[in-house]
Amino acid sequence: MKPIALLSALALLALAAPADAQNASQIAAVRRGANCPRCNLFQADLSNLELKNKNLAGARLRQADLSAAIMNRTRFTGGDLRDVNAYGAVLTGASFARADLTNASFVGAYLQGANFSGARLSGVNFSGAEMDRATGLTQGQLSQACGDDSTAPPRGLSIPRCR
């Protein structure tokens, strides 16, 4: 095989292989209640689970489903939660400090006491979310997110309406 053809074939193979695909054994461990800091939980289905006081700091939860989960006091600190679905989730006292929540959905979520210090909230939908006692939020963060008339941001802060 000619060197150029070989290089082309290797390049195509590298592009076809899923980079950073989910880790099924790590997802299974979390579903059973394990802590899993820095784990690869890409597209994990954690919906309807009760996983309180867990350490998922630095974990990759991109596109994960946390809908209707109860994850009070869970640490997502510094994690990748882009495009996460946390519809109706109960996340009292959870830490999202320094996490990337870009385009996440927290529609109808209960976020009292959740910490958002330094979190990226670009495109986050907080419609119907109860978050008036969330901490670490700034007006700059909330201005990049959206909500509706029933969204309860912390006192003195406002959130744009979703379009």
| C-beta separation of 143 from 163 below 8 A | no
- Please write the tens of the pLDDT for every residue from 57-81: 999 999 999 999 999 999 999 999 9
Contacts of 72-78 spanning 24+ positions with Cβ under 8 A? 75/37
Q: Span 95-103, mean pLDDT?
A: 98
Residue type, 108: G
| C-beta separation of 62 from 82 below 8 A | yes
pLDDT at residue 26 above 50? yes
| C-beta separation of 56 from 81 below 8 A | no
pLDDT at residue 1 above 80? no
Backbone φ, ψ for residue 151 (5° rounding) = -70, 135
pLDDT at residue 15 above 50? no
How would CATH label the architecture of 19-163?
A: 3 Solenoid (2.160)
Domain ranges of the chain: 19-163
Cα–Cα dist 129/100, whole Å: 18
pLDDT at residue 23 above 50? yes
Q: The tokens 């909500």 sit on which residue?
A: 147
In this structure, what DSSP letter does residue 134 have?
-
Q: The tokens 């330094």 sit on which residue?
A: 118
Q: Span 122-149, mean pLDDT?
A: 98
pTM of the model: 0.87
Residue type, 32: R
